[in-house]
Amino acid sequence: MRAAHALTYASLLRWLGPWTPSDRAPEIRTERVPIGGFDAKLYAPPGRAVGAYAIAPGLHYAGPDDPRMDRFCRVLAASGILTLAPYVPAYVALRVAASAIDDFARAFDALRAHPACPVARPGVFSISFGSLLALRLAAARPDDVGGVICFGGYADWDATVRFAATGLIDGQPWAVRDHRNLPVVFLNLLDELDGVPADRAPLVAAWTKFVHATWGRPAMNAAERWQPIARELADEVPDAARELYLQGVGLAPGGPARIDRALARAVDRTRFLDVRPHLAGVRGPVWLVHGVTDDVIPWPQARALADAMPTSARCKVYLTGLYGHTAIEGARGPVAAIKEVATMVQIVDAMVRAATAR
């Protein structure tokens, strides 16, 4: 640890560790910053900033207003890191679109140009599908990015989508899967799905309402909690689209086969979603952090990303049991706790290095 940033380390360890309740967050001043066509949320440290992060978000309708994202950004700012979290339009709409790559680059430039930014090369912290945005930026502009941390990122789009539909990795069942993500898979493949009615609006509205009603609350992952909501929303879908809707929430058979057919049709359109062909330009450093209990993007995706990295990325992988996909899990048992805290210290060290590179 570098002595100059001891307070930053201490603050991050305090707020990100399992010893601090996740419903507590530091008081931080925020402001909306126009990027041009969309906004970002700026989190300002209480004193002079020692580093800076552009957050490459995952898919979420609330963007930085998601309480988990908001808390994380407040924690970064409280430690002295100026943090900019954009409302990437496509991602707020739950779509992984090529436009998001350029929009995130514009947000990154806005952070660099901000008068309070203390570094010429801010770090990038990505969450979930934000790994696409972070790594494409790092590959295209390696001299501008101080470092990249990918939390819960993906390498293989098709494998990640098929996992969401089947719970299988390389044909084998995975321990955990969050069933509530399936509608977003169907939304992102809507143009390639067979059997989509001419009037898509009720179908899209029902899947979107399901996401709004169930995401962000871990208890909703239990079948007895999300299934009644899914069935109730089925009444809002016309008979002609009912089966497709039910497949999209996992309540009717045939969904995985329909997704397979859609993925085959979507090969050309979704080619940009595989970041691996672009990684040659990354000059690092890159840290890949993944929860071993991640039920959205399983941790083998971190290994696949690492395998695709050039040596210039100086890539390191940290697997942790303290965090799931978006929440603090907590270690199981005293021996595990010691190992997890040691890993956490390494992750915090990486976070500080990426944000404060000169």
pLDDT digits (tens, 9 = 90+) for 332-350: 555 566 688 899 999 999 9
Residue 53 lies in a domain: yes
Containing structural domain, residue 258: 182-265
Query: pLDDT category, 326, cuts 50, 70, 90?
Result: low
Q: Do 223 and 286 belong to one domain?
A: no
Q: Do 230 and 335 belong to one domain?
A: no
Which residues does 326 contact at the CB level (< 8 Å), separation at least 6?
58, 68, 127, 128, 152
Q: Do 151 and 64 belong to one domain?
A: yes
**CA angle at residue 160 from 85 to 353, to 5 degrees?**
40
Residue 174 lies in a domain: no
Q: Do 22 and 81 belong to one domain?
A: yes
- Best CA proximity match to 153, nearest among 48, 302, 47: 302
What pLDDT does 18 receive?
A: 86
Rounded to two decimals, the pTM is 0.94
Q: Do 237 and 295 belong to one domain?
A: no
- C-alpha dihedral (78, 83, 84, 85), degrees to nearest 10: -60
Query: pLDDT category, 16, cuts 50, 70, 90?
Result: very high
Average pLDDT score, the chain: 93
Mean pLDDT, residues 61-79 taken together: 97
What pLDDT does 324 receive?
A: 64
Residue 201 lies in a domain: yes
Q: What is the pLDDT of residues 198-209, one digit of tens each?
A: 999 999 999 999
Q: What is the pLDDT of residues 134-190, one digit of tens each?
A: 999 999 999 999 999 999 999 999 999 999 999 998 888 988 899 999 999 999 999
Q: Do 217 and 312 belong to one domain?
A: no
Q: Do 242 and 282 belong to one domain?
A: no
What pLDDT does 2 receive?
A: 60
Residue 135 lies in a domain: yes
- Name the least confident of 174-178, 200-204, 244-248, 266-270: 174-178
- Best CA proximity match to 79, nearest among 107, 103, 50: 50
Q: Do 111 and 149 belong to one domain?
A: yes
- The answer to whether the CB of 114 falls within 8 A of the CB of 82 is yes
Q: Do 186 and 301 belong to one domain?
A: no
Residue type at 211 in one-letter notation: V
Residue 219 lies in a domain: yes
Residue 169 lies in a domain: no
Q: Do 216 and 283 belong to one domain?
A: no
Strand-strand pairing, 81-86 and 39-44:
antiparallel
Q: Do 200 and 121 belong to one domain?
A: no
Give the C-alpha separation, 326 to 26, whole Å.
18
Residue 168 lies in a domain: no
pLDDT above 90 covers a percentage of the chain that reads 85
pLDDT reading at 1 higher than 50: no
CATH number, domain at 61?
Answer: 3.40.50.1820
Q: Where are the alpha helices (DSSP H) in the chain?
A: 6-16, 67-78, 89-92, 99-113, 130-140, 157-166, 182-188, 201-214, 223-234, 239-248, 255-265, 300-308, 334-356
Residue where a domain terminates, one of 213, 243, 265: 265
What's the number of domains the chain is made of? 2
pLDDT reading at 330 higher than 80: no
Q: Do 152 and 287 belong to one domain?
A: yes
Residue where a domain terminates, one of 213, 230, 265: 265
